[in-house]
Chains A and B, each alone.
Chain A
Amino acid sequence: MAKVTVDGIEVEVPNGSTVLQACEAAGKEIPRFCYHERLSIAGNCRMCLVEIERAPKPVSSCSFPVADNMVVKTDSPMVRNGRRGVMEFLLINHPLDCPICDQGGECDLQDQALGYGMDHSRYKENKRAVKDKDLGPLVKTVMTRCIQCTRCIRFVSEVAGVPDLGATSRGENMEVGTYVERALGSELSGNIIDLCPVGALTSKPYAFTARPWELKKTDGIDVLDAVGTNIRIDSRGPEVLRILPRINNDVNEEWLGDKSRFFVDGLKRRRLDRPWVRRDGRLVPASWAEAFATIAQRLQGVPGERIGAVAGDLCDAESMLALKDLMAALGSANLDCRQDGARLDASRRDFYLFNSSIAGIEEADALLLVGSNPRHEAPVLNARIRKQWLHTNMPLGVIGPAADLTYAATTLGDGPGAISALLDGSHSFAPMLRDAKKPMIVVGQGALRRPDGAAVLAACWKLAAAFGGLSAGWHGFNVLHTAAARVGALDLGFVPGPGGRGFESMLGGRVDVLWLLGADEFDTARIGADTFVVYQGHHGDRGAARADVILPGAAFTEKPGTYVNMEGRVQRGLLAVYPPGQAREDWRIVRAFSEVIGRTLPYNDLPALRKRLEQANPVFARVGFLPRFGAGDESGPAGDPTAMSAAPLAPAVTNYYQTDAITRASPTMAACTEIYVAPTLQAAE
């Protein structure tokens, strides 16, 4: 530890810290443009100048290491003069277009110019102008505003692992761009918008939409993948205008995937804003009372075992519990949340969780992906794997289709045969796993959706056990989910009860009434022609098209909801805007319907329902906090590891940008699909 005095405040910081970190430890704010905690140090903006005693010149604090007994001044005349000089240089070429700049109001340069800028310019020459770059449908560029901090370049090279951006030419002519014009090929590209300290990189879909001070900011949880990214929902009036990440070091650090950031225009399109009832083969608008009456009438005389419910991928735990309770009241145990047919074993919690935890990836020293492409299934988590790979160069293996994961991974085989080869030790990757102290086995949905999914799951568990992945201090067995609702549903037991039917056996007319809670991710033609389908959800997608009654629900931005991410972390999102038209919060719909059929559910408000949630599973009482467990019990999930077929594993997500009803309704996501996904699909054909 080094003792540093900052403006008379004595602090102790670890050796090797920078002066800037010492200043922050002392509570002094240092202005900066190029420095960022999660990126490498560049030291090129010079805004963080401080005075260090016995140093003849001001020092850039972000790139200067501390020494014991250093005395730092952050607000001396020398410092202020130095920063004013830097600011004057930065403003020489920076345009004065703040009134038409989208960054206005949340611009670091604007803020710092208030403190260190002059009221006039001494520079009489022309300002530099730079041609804008086309970085694709998500990031808008106004490169004349660029102050060349190189944060975006460092982000795409270091964190995203898609080194497309660079600084070409030099001096006055230096430009940030891709040189060869092309769209940024990263699923995390939207983060450079947040990183850009000026308005050079802004959001293309959000351009000229709102000023930050007009927005209401609501804390939410992203549901478009199973990471549980903490987000901030910015809304104005009834409209969600943009999504930004919130910092949560245990989950998403401060990153957000492009799908989860740019899908917002999908929230306004194809919405179900009123109930619909099918009459004579056509869906016609109806009132809530009519819709409920139609369902109640159809339910009359139908025995419980002929009723079923399927929960979709975006559901909150509250609505799923309400639906489960309703089904119980109707005498039905036909429940399922695995509409993709994933052979998940719900009998024990660590059979379906990402047990090592997302932050735990940074402890791993070997990682094996089975049937998973985390780059498309959970890009933020993939960035964490890349980070650990960069730091430790840990061995990474992939069983499944070869793909560019942004890190060097060895492909061990495209089918489960490679798992068997690892198990009997004949594979060349086996010694690397054996040498690891904290190996991680990550099973993706691509491996579990197959008919032999249970066998693959059991084999992977065996793999984790065989290679020391299951110990009291480390749980190396991980399931990588793609659906945000999945773990919550499994925690609630939204799976077939005793004697109940699973998802597959509810199709083909084997139930008379099927209640789809936002379930769109399957071929609805497989539902029997005579089955009466109730679709409760927020978008007119596959499920709604097949429905006999549509109950308009709320999207995740429009209701307070509890979600459990893939590592089992319970998180809560708040209501940002109200659902459109007559749409209502989902649990209220179920509760209201239960009253219509005279089997009123025993909760009238959200606190009561959340009490019931805790009753159903005590994990729901642990909001935000994730206790880590080692593996106590080595006995594996049901399934015969030897029963695996040799068929190659297929990816679970083929189009990252369109995975659910909301993103399929989004024009921005459609544009991304066209630019990023269509060419690869064509190439594959």
Chain B
Amino acid sequence: MAEENGADFEQPASFAFDAESRAELDRHIAKYPTGKQASAVLPALYIVQRQMKRDTGSAWVPRAAMDEVARLLGMPPIRVYEVATFYTMFALRPIGTWHLQVCTTTPCWLRGSDDVTAACRKFTGIAGWGETSADGVFTMTEVECLGACVNAPVVQVNDDLYEDLDAERTTGLLEALKRGEPPKPGSMTGRQTSAPEGGPTTLTTLDNLGPPNPEPATPAE
């Protein structure tokens, strides 16, 4: 997410890690040798984001939290700002309950991500990227490849991937989300991971064979 400075929202004045976050952060800090605590900046920002989700329902990283991370890790605040603004995974402004991260990279686009995007826009009423719906439930972000091209097109909702979408299935997904009943992540057509649609197409005759790994045939003498 780009520069979020001249903000139309309120930055909290302070941020403190709660016990749960602090324990997790300490676990990450302990991975690095003394003096290299700054290496834990990425997990630290994730922890912030998750704590914000728990506390406020919106997973974002306020500036006060970045300053707190800088203080804890002994690095200049600007170094934390650099990291937080570089990665699109950190939201630097409050977002909706469900963060729709729509992949529009070539494989998804070829498989119809335009339809998915349009369905999202129609359902949520969100006009542009990076915006939040009027009811504050959805935020839409355009993302690059999520690494699930075999099941394109893909939308990442908060931390989970929903695959094999089309306009209709997307609308269904959004309705479920809005009800607060997120479906099981993965392919929305019901196929197993990235197995062929409609069941196996190869090795179909192996059904009658015995158990796997039969004893090797004795070589001819």
Contact = CB atoms under 8 A, between A and B. Distances in A.
A168 B85 contact: yes
Interface stretch (A175-183, A204-212, A319-327): A175-183
Nearest to B87: A170
Listed from nearest, the 10 A-B pairs whose CB atoms lie closest are A166-B78, A163-B76, A168-B85, A179-B81, A166-B82, A169-B85, A170-B86, A173-B2, A169-B2, A168-B81
B208 interface: no
Interface in B149-173: none
Contact of B5 (A164, A165, A173, A181): A181
Nearest to A172: B2
B159 to A, nearest CB: 22
B78 A163 contact: yes
B79 interface: yes
A169 B86 CA distance: 4
Nearest to A171: B86
A178 B78 CA distance: 7
Given A168-B85, A169-B85, A170-B86, A180 B77 contact: yes
Nearest to B81: A179
6 contacts: A163-B76, A168-B3, A168-B85, A169-B2, A173-B2, A175-B3
A164 B3 contact: no
Contact of A173 (B3, B76, B77, B79): B3
Interface string B67-82: 0000000001111011
B24 to A, nearest CB: 26
A167 B85 CA distance: 9
Interface in A405-425: none
Chain B, interface size category, equals 10 to 19
B82 A168 contact: yes
Contacts, number: 38
Contacts of A175: 3
Contacts of A169: 2-3, 85-86
Given A166-B79, A180-B63, 12 more contacts: A157-B76, A164-B78, A165-B78, A166-B78, A168-B82, A169-B3, A169-B85, A170-B85, A173-B3, A178-B78, A179-B81, A179-B85
Nearest to B86: A170
A163 B79 CA distance: 8
A168 B82 CA distance: 5
Interface in B1-31: 2-3, 5
A167 B3 contact: no
Contacts of B86: 168-170
Contacts of A166: 78-79, 81-82
- Of A157, A165, A166, most B-chain CB atoms within 10 Å: A166
Contacts of B82: 166-168
A361 B85 CA distance: 39
Contacts of A180: 5, 63, 77, 81
Q: Is the interface of B mostly helix, strand, loop or mixed?
A: helix
Interface in B21-80: 63, 76-79
A494 B86 CA distance: 60
A164 B78 CA distance: 6
Contacts of B63: 180
A179 B78 contact: yes
B79 A179 contact: no
A157 B2 CA distance: 23
Nearest to B79: A166
Interface in A286-318: none
Chain A, interface size category, equals 10 to 19
A265 B122 CA distance: 61
A178 B76 CA distance: 11
Nearest to B6: A131
A157 B86 CA distance: 19
Nearest to B75: A163
Nearest to A130: B3
A33 to B, nearest CB: 20
Contacts of A164: 76, 78
B85 to A, nearest CB: 4
Nearest to A170: B86
A181 B3 CA distance: 12
A163 B77 CA distance: 9
A167 B79 CA distance: 9
Contacts of B5: 179-181
A173 B2 CA distance: 7
A168 B76 CA distance: 14
A168 B66 CA distance: 13
A131 B2 CA distance: 13
A167 B78 CA distance: 8
Nearest to A163: B76
Contacts of A173: 2-3
Contacts of B3: 131, 168-169, 173, 175
B196 to A, nearest CB: 37
A131 B5 CA distance: 11
Nearest to A179: B81
A168 B81 CA distance: 7
A186 B81 CA distance: 20
A165 B3 CA distance: 15
Nearest to A178: B78
Contacts of A165: 78
Nearest to A166: B78
A178 B5 CA distance: 11
A181 B79 CA distance: 15
B190 to A, nearest CB: 38
Contacts of A157: 76
A179 B3 CA distance: 8
A17 to B, nearest CB: 29
B130 to A, nearest CB: 12
B212 to A, nearest CB: 48
A385 B5 CA distance: 36
Contacts of B85: 168-170, 179
B142 to A, nearest CB: 13
A407 to B, nearest CB: 14
B114 to A, nearest CB: 22
A166 B78 CA distance: 6
Nearest to A168: B85
Contacts of B81: 166, 168, 179-180
Contacts of B77: 179-180
A431 B22 CA distance: 38
B119 to A, nearest CB: 28
A144 to B, nearest CB: 14
Interface string A590-607: 000000000000000000
Nearest to B78: A166
Nearest to B76: A163
A167 B86 CA distance: 9
A180 B78 CA distance: 8
Contacts of B76: 157, 163-164
A429 B85 CA distance: 42
Contacts of A131: 3
A169 B3 CA distance: 7
Interface in A128-179: 131, 157, 163-170, 173, 175, 178-179
B202 to A, nearest CB: 41
A173 B85 CA distance: 10
B219 to A, nearest CB: 49
Contacts of A167: 82
A181 B63 CA distance: 12
Contacts of A179: 5, 77-78, 81, 85
Nearest to A175: B3
B105 to A, nearest CB: 15
A666 B152 CA distance: 66
A207 to B, nearest CB: 24
